[in-house]
Structure 1
Amino acid sequence: MKFIFTLLAGLCLSVSTFAQSETAAADTAVSPTSGSKGSSFIWYKKNTVKINLSSLTLNNYSLYYERMLTRKIAATVGVRYMPKTRLTETLLGKQILDQLDEEDNEDLKPLAASNTTITAGVRFYTGSRSGAKGFYAELYGRYGMFQLDYDYTFTTNGKEYDMVIKGKPNGFGGGLLLGGQFNLFKNMVVDIYIIGAHYGKMSGNIDGVSDLSTMTAEEKADMESDINDIAPKFNDKKILEAKVDNNGVKGKLDGPFAGIRGLGLSIGWAF
């Protein structure tokens, strides 16, 4: 069961899949050329919208906008949305299932998740050419809202108890992304993020409704322990604190909002 929370943290709660944007055309700026005499200028585009292609492997839809602030510094903002999806039905999820043992495979199948994430950052480009071209370092902040549904089953003394455990955690964090952005054609750009990571805090509530009035106190304690084991400890601190009573389960999530990003690809249009 611990595998569920670890996978979710890696794929959903921080996954993430992210990509940024580039320069632009209709709203352009001029930059003096270096090494030329007189008043020679190079026009460069200041805006770009982009779609993240790599996020589609997790049924995520990501749109980003980038605006040049100076000739080599840009502001970025993006929105990512994932409708309610069973991770086992996504392209990446199916590939992960093939690598799991039977127990973890069965644990993952009941899990469904959705999320909306907002990311904003400041990007610093290298190179002598004006505009959003070349390798970059980006400082970014990310806020995520998540909804989790897990079809939970607990069997004790030959009797089976079923409930849907729902979670609504929110997370906020900041991090650093390294990548490169280049022109494919006059107005088409490709953005490749090479490696990045963010860290912050995630918290929220979980609840599941079920008639557990026929369970003994010992059986409720066993179920409570089983649910709490879904999430591993972090720095010797419990991430999940759940309590079971006659009406089901209620609990709190309190842990890190962390993620590693790498090998992402976006395509954009400068205007």
Structure 2
Amino acid sequence: MLIETIKPRPLDESKNLIVPGNYQKTLTFCVEHFIALSKQALADHGFFAVALSGGSTPKVIFEKLCSSPYREQMNWNNIYIFFSDERALPPDDPNSNFHMAMQAGFNKMPIPTEQIHRMEAEVDIEKNALKYEETIYRVLGKRPFDLIMLGMGEDGHTASLFPFTEGLNITDRLCIANYVPQKKCWRMTLTFSCINQASNICIYVLGANKRYMLAQVLFHPSQKTLPVEQVGTPQSKALWIVDEAATIR
């Protein structure tokens, strides 16, 4: 198994880096890592609480995870699914993160329906962000998420925490409605306060189109002026899982 042979490299007090290899090897590592974290959580406290990310890379990860031989390695009855962010779209819209994840295979897995918690961002987004935060507290209690999955946009955003948005500065909430002026839309998103409490934070960056921004964030840090640079703490380091195409400098 790849996960047993490849170890992360410390970058600084808040980040570790792992480069499993090419695109396919990195996808395999991501799936094996997801399964390993689920087994650790089950052994520790009996369930696995994960916040899924949107985007093309998570979609492929989910498809692989929900296919043989990987799906047989998951205890689907004890997984609690949340989301790291969501567009203001109904659940059947193709651009909804929830819709993507379900269509990628989660809707075919034996997960109890009441354990899948989508973000209702299409109406009353500020009210529903509060409700989502209440759901997190109700399900997890004082426990952090076992895994929060994130990506990185070419502008340095992560989840729906975009540059120059008010959500970057909110420290007393787990989930918020964040207006994104550059996209002229609202998004629902977990906050840094929530993300940085997680037991495991993974940022998946695959593909040459992310190469420039990745180099800026990992090797030429800008004193945390980009949203994704605020992910990770000494107590809960972010693991950057990156393929070779994204790391060539």
Answer yes or no: same fold by TM over 0.5.
no
Q: Which has the higher strand share?
A: 1
Q: Which has the higher helix share?
A: 2
